[in-house]
């Protein structure tokens, strides 16, 4: 009898990615603050564009995403010919591993880094290497020390998820300076819209041939359900990734919605402005309750409790009040809760619930 067919090495080592919960038993319409979504949803312009695109759903979408790439380039001052669009920025991360890493190669990511870095590395047979952080911040010295001749990719999120912290540009540049010839630095900028003054690595990408930047429409643009993201990098990298990208990886509806969303700069600016004010109020309210949190440069706050038991108790109490947040235990932060910044009334509700919990303790 022949042996059963087996997947490629590394694939069975992947733990299934767990997204933020969206349901609570006994609550018909819970307040979801677990996935860092824009609480105001897509812009009206994006909604209109998607509705119009539905009538053309029988047509195949663009294979080159030219209109979306042109809109991204125009709004952000990038070069359209070095942009690649994907099914969320996750797909771009996967392309990078597929194209540049394999068995015997190492992919570096940080201690509390986004879970897809490890998953994408394992999926292509490479070895993910976790590098310690320092006080919930990427440790550039530790990353540089971890580079070996086998290192092919280094993934860092800036601002980071789930810690919400931001690296200074000179620190990122120091890491780029230390890259060996065979290695790419990938700067995941999923939350960069919320970090005033941060360019997500654009200057490094344009000055070097071994740095790639990724962005997403799932956060600030409120299009998580469409799954659209993009990468910006040297021409030789983008040309390589396009060779493995499926010709119709984005639907016509997704392309229409994202193109309209990126051009609706006023909507995005308003959402970012409200987020900044509410983020400060949420963080300040947590600190007044004795709950620590770092200054956030994202659309969420990482609340730190005395220990895992205290975090679990707070999570359970919030759920009892119909509020869903994220317990980032899989990210090595069992004593924390990640709380997305919601609408003003949502954040008031969270703070009121935690105030009540403290009063009953």
Pair 70, 97 in one domain: yes
- For residue 14, what pLDDT is reported? 67
Answer whether residue 2 is part of any domain.
Answer: no
- For residue 21, what pLDDT is reported? 66
Residue 19 has pLDDT above 80, yes or no: no
Across 20-34, average pLDDT: 78
pLDDT tens for 111-121 read: 998 889 999 99
Pair 304, 158 in one domain: no
**Token duo for residue 360:** 């009953």
Answer whether residue 10 is part of any domain.
Answer: no
For the chain, give the mean pLDDT. Answer: 93
201, 230, 263 - which closes a domain: 263
233, 263, 293 - which closes a domain: 263
- For residue 268, what pLDDT is reported? 96
* Residue 28 confidence class, pLDDT cut points 50, 70, 90: confident
- For residue 2, what pLDDT is reported? 66
Answer whether residue 312 is part of any domain.
Answer: yes
Pair 91, 175 in one domain: yes
Pair 344, 250 in one domain: no
**Token duo for residue 165:** 């912290």
* CATH number for 101: 3.40.640.10
Pair 220, 297 in one domain: no
Separation CA 315–CA 93 (nearest Å):
31
Beta-carbon-side half-sphere exposure of residue 65 (alpha carbons within 13 Å): 31
**Closest Cα partner for 296 from 332, 339, 241?**
339
Which residue segment(s) compose the domain that 71 sits in? 44-263
Peptide bond into 297 cis (omega under 30): no
Residue 125 has pLDDT above 90, yes or no: yes
pLDDT tens for 229-261 read: 999 999 999 999 999 999 999 999 999 999 999
- For residue 297, what pLDDT is reported? 95
Q: Is the overall model pTM greater than 0.75, yes or no?
A: yes
Pair 253, 319 in one domain: no
Pair 301, 210 in one domain: no
Across 62-80, average pLDDT: 96
Pair 29, 168 in one domain: no
Separation CA 226–CA 249 (nearest Å):
12
| Total number of domains in the chain | 2
pLDDT tens for 34-63 read: 999 999 999 999 999 999 999 999 999 999
248, 263, 278 - which closes a domain: 263
Task: Calculate the CA dihedral of residues 154, 155, 160, 166 and round it to 10 degrees.
Answer: 40
Residue 8 has pLDDT above 80, yes or no: no
Answer whether residue 350 is part of any domain.
Answer: yes
* CATH number for 288: 3.90.1150.10
- For residue 17, what pLDDT is reported? 65
Answer whether residue 257 is part of any domain.
Answer: yes
């Amino acid at each position: 009898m022949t042996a059963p067919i087996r997947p490629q090495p590394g694939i069975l080592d992947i733990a299934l990615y767990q997204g933020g919960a969206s349901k609570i038993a006994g609550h018909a319409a819970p307040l979801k603050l677990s996935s860092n979504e824009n609480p105001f949803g897509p812009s009206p312009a994006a909604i209109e564009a998607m509705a119009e695109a539905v009538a053309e759903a029988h047509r195949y979408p663009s294979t080159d995403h030219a209109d979306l790439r042109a809109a991204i380039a125009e709004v952000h001052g990038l070069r359209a010919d070095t942009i690649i669009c994907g099914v969320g920025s996750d797909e771009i991360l996967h392309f990078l591993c597929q194209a540049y890493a394999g068995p015997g190669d190492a992919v570096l990511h940080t201690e509390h880094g986004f879970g897809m870095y490890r998953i994408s590395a394992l999926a292509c047979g490479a070895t993910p290497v976790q590098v310690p952080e320092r006080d919930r911040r990427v440790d550039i010295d530790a990353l540089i020390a971890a580079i070996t001749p086998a290192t092919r990719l280094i993934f860092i999120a800036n601002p980071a998820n789930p810690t919400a912290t931001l690296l200074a540009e000179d620190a990122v540049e120091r890491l780029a300076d230390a890259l060996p010839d065979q290695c790419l630095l990938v700067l995941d900028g999923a939350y960069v819209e919320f970090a005033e003054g941060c360019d997500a690595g654009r200057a490094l990408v344009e000055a070097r041939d071994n740095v790639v930047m990724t962005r997403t429409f799932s956060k600030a643009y409120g299009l998580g359900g469409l799954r659209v993201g993009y990468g910006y990098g040297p021409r030789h990298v983008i040309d390589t990734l396009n060779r493995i990208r499926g010709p119709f990886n984005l639907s016509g509806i997704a392309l229409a919605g994202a193109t309209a969303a990126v051009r609706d700069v006023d909507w995005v600016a308003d959402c970012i402005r409200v987020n900044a004010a509410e983020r400060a109020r949420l963080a300040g309210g947590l600190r007044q309750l004795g709950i620590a949190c770092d200054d956030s440069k994202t659309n969420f706050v990482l609340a730190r409790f005395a220990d895992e038991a205290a975090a679990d108790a707070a999570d359970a109490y919030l759920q009892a009040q119909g509020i869903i947040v994220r317990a980032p235990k899989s990210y090595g932060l069992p004593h924390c809760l990640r709380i997305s910044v919601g609408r003003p009334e949502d954040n008031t509700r969270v703070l009121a619930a935690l105030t009540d919990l403290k009063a009953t303790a």
